[in-house]
Structure 1
Amino acid sequence: MKNVTERTSNPFGLRPPFDLTGPNERTAVFGYGDANADFHLIGDHPGVHGGRTTGVPFTETESGAALQSVLRETGFVDGPADRPDLENLYCSYVHMCCLPDGEAPTDRSYDDLERFFDAELRAINAHILLPVGERATDRVLETYTTQRGRIDLEMPALHATEIRGRGFLIVPIREPSEWIDTERDALAARLEAILGRDYRQTKGVATTVG
């Protein structure tokens, strides 16, 4: 059953388990977008993919601008860049919590936030997962497919391909700051191809094959 909330940011009221930032700094960049979406864009953490000022994933960064360009072209995004209107798309991070400038998440903090990420992903219940970058792709393939041991984590080769998972179709996205011209076009073409077919059958097919 799909969620019917109209909240755009943090629709499920998640509360991060820790706060490592200063008193006047953002604690976390929560999930944002259409909570009834069929497509779920998944990034790493705010220090990589942005949102520490806006509170919106995939904003304020080169990677966010590159992704928004493709997503606008394919009809998922409209409105201002710092607080876009998303249709049929939800965005979130594997590691939602913000950290002080210059610090990166530890393996332990990723593990601590895994249950929050998993709960939100399953609440959205999208058909298509779009992990961005090596860390998010690794986490999604490890957790939501049975194929991680058979897949080399070579992002140029995985970029804009389709991988059947346990109830999901997964389309890995190479870190946008590393794209060459053909990779932008490849992602746009892949999204348009998926939109052009009956992708809502994905969940049944993926459960059988993945």
Structure 2
Amino acid sequence: MQNVTDRTSNPFGLRPPFDRTPPDERTAVFGYGDANADFHLIGDHPGVHGGKRTGVPFTETDAGLAVQDVFRETGFVSGSQDEPDLENLFCSYVHMCCLPNGHQPTARDYDDLERFFDAELRAINAHILLPVGAQATDHVLQQYTTQRRHLELDMSDLHARQIRGRGFMVVPIRNPPDWDEGDRETIVETLEEILASDYRQTKGVATLVG
């Protein structure tokens, strides 16, 4: 089932539940990309992965651009860095609201935004979830798989692993500032492997065939 929308940014018209930014700053960085994508890239918040100026996830910051570059190399991204064209890829944050520079979301902040993230994730209904960093990975594994209690939150070990979820395949990505030699090449190779397979698995089975 396809979403009937041509909106690239915030295709479902979400409204943030709080605004803690000055009057002249952006309230939130909404989901962005192809609303019918098979791949859903999930970051932490705008202070980490960017977008406070552009309004686009995975822009501006070194970490955000490093992730964007991986997906550019694997054919999902083209065009400018600040307003890229995405094909078969949707990007969003577990915490979409912007905070003043230097501030980090609290546990309550994440909880307040969980229902918004969940609604958008289920509306996109992608096959492959790609959380970036420990915060996003922990949330995705807890909410969309039964695997979290069996896995240590060790991003060096989880990086680029294919983990079966409840109707999804989860492929965690280590946050770029923590990448060791070979981490970038590993996630590129994993994405290319998935693209070469029959990844459009039946919902609820979440296995790769091919």
> Would the TM-score normalized by the shorter structure come out above 0.5?
yes
Q: Residues 75-154 of structure 1 correspond to what in structure 2 (within 5 A)?
A: 75-154=75-154
Q: How does 1:16-95 map to 2 (within 5 A)?
A: 16-95=16-95
Which AA in structure 1 matches 2:61? T
On the 8 A contact 1:29/1:55 being kept in 2, the answer is: yes
- Equivalent in the alignment of 1:171: 171
Report the equivalent of 2:15: 15
Question: Normalising by the residue count of structure 2, what TM-score does the alignment of the two structures yield?
Answer: 0.96
* Shift, 1:204, TM fit: 4.1
CA deviation string 1:99-149 (max 9, x = no partner): 111111111110000000000000000000000000000000000001110
Q: How far apart in 1 are the matches of 2:159 and 2:202?
A: 19
Q: 2:200 is paired with a residue of what secondary structure?
A: helix
CA RMSD of aligned residues (A): 1.0
Distance 1:146 1:35 in 2: 26
Distance 1:64 1:107 in 2: 22
Q: Is 1:168–1:202's contact at 8 Å kept on the other side of the alignment?
A: no
SS in 1 for 2:182: helix
Letter in 1 for 2:163: I
Tell me how far 1:206 sits from its aligned partner.
2.0
- In the superposition, the TM-score normalised over structure 1's length comes to 0.96
Shift of 1:55: 0.2
Contact 2:166–2:205 (CA under 8 A) maintained in structure 1: no
- Give CA deviations for 1:176-196 in whole Å, capped at 9, x if unaligned: 121123010000000000000
Please list every run of 5 or more consecutive structure 2 residues that lacks an aligned counterpart in the other structure. none
The aligned amino acid for 1:6 is: D
Q: In 2, are the aligned partners of 1:169 and 1:202 still within 8 Å (CA)? A: no
Tell me if structure 1 keeps the 8 A contact 2:48–2:64.
no
Q: Secondary structure at the match of 1:190?
A: helix
Offset at 1:71?
A: 0.7
Say if 1:36 and 1:124, in contact at 8 Å, map to a contact too: yes
Paired AA for residue 130 in structure 1: L
Amino acid at match of 2:18: F
Q: Distance in 2 between matches of 1:40 and 1:62?
A: 20
Q: Which amino acid aligns with 1:79?
A: G
Alpha carbons 1:76, 1:86 under 8 Å: kept: yes
How many corresponding residue pairs? 207
CA contact (8 A) 1:2 1:125 kept: no
Q: Does 1:180 align with 2:192?
A: no
Q: Could you tell me which amino acid in structure 1 is paired with residue 93 of structure 2?
A: Y
Partner Cα distance (2:108, 2:84) in 1: 32
Following the alignment from structure 2 to structure 1, what is the Cα–Cα distance between the partners of residues 66 and 50? Answer: 12
Query: In the aligned structure 2, how far is the partner of 1:90 from the partner of 1:9?
Result: 10
